Homo-oligomer: A and B are copies of this chain.
């Protein structure tokens, strides 16, 4: 509900077109759809520019199918993250155009053509094991209307691999740097490019990695400026943030 609507409402009250009680009730009625177990936030598209994204983990298959149904009915494109194959199969039965990316564990369902931004986002990884998180970021950015340049396996243990790709990375408007282990990629990239870097720690590693904590702390303490961090393995969050920046 936009500011103009409220203004109109007040004018309608003034002109006796609607009753005060009715106006009160309208002001209370907010633009989300209540499924009981979930309240699908249609207003979000107005408020934040993108429709709500379905975080599938911890939801039942039935819930996901219902939420997707509601969004499809409103004509939105749909992105489901952390989805299992089983969830996808149930969605696909009702919406055959749905697509599943096994690596990224995403369900995407595109009804409206996606207009692409002129500038692009670079998504880079330290190792090959970081690719699933990177793909989640890339697919998120793409469905939100961004071109994505993928540069994978360029970690600092063989830093010449990174340098050979610097041109591509530097041409991007925003960089998403995905790395596990010690997460040094974030700092090295941050020191080399003059664009905002979204660092994504991954839980790749073992021992004193503590499920991504090492990479997370490393990235938060980056000695390079121009870097901000999202949650461990949060490819979606990085892709979303990068898209927001790329579209400014």
Contact = CB atoms under 8 A, between A and B. Distances in A.
A199 to B, nearest CB: 8
A196 B39 contact: no
A192 B169 CA distance: 22
B129 A156 contact: no
B163 A224 contact: no
A226 B207 contact: no
A107 interface: no
A157 to B, nearest CB: 4
A59 interface: yes
A48 B220 CA distance: 19
A173 to B, nearest CB: 6
Contacts of A145: none
A7 B30 contact: no
A111 interface: no
Interface string A205-241: 1111111111111111111111111111110111011
Interface residues of A, number: 107
A211 B137 CA distance: 23
Interface string A117-159: 0000000001111010000000000000000000011111111
A69 interface: no
A164 interface: yes
Interface of A: 7, 10-11, 13-14, 16, 20, 23-24, 28-32, 36-39, 41, 43-44, 47-50, 52-53, 55, 57-59, 63, 82, 126-129, 131, 152-161, 163-164, 173, 181-184, 186-188, 190-196, 198, 201, 203-234, 236-238, 240-241, 244-245, 248
28 contacts: A7-B24, A32-B160, A37-B131, A48-B191, A48-B193, A52-B158, A53-B225, A156-B223, A182-B186, A184-B188, A184-B218, A196-B241, A196-B248, A207-B220, A207-B234, A208-B217, A208-B232, A209-B231, A210-B217, A214-B221, A217-B218, A220-B229, A222-B231, A225-B240, A226-B240, A227-B230, A228-B241, A229-B230
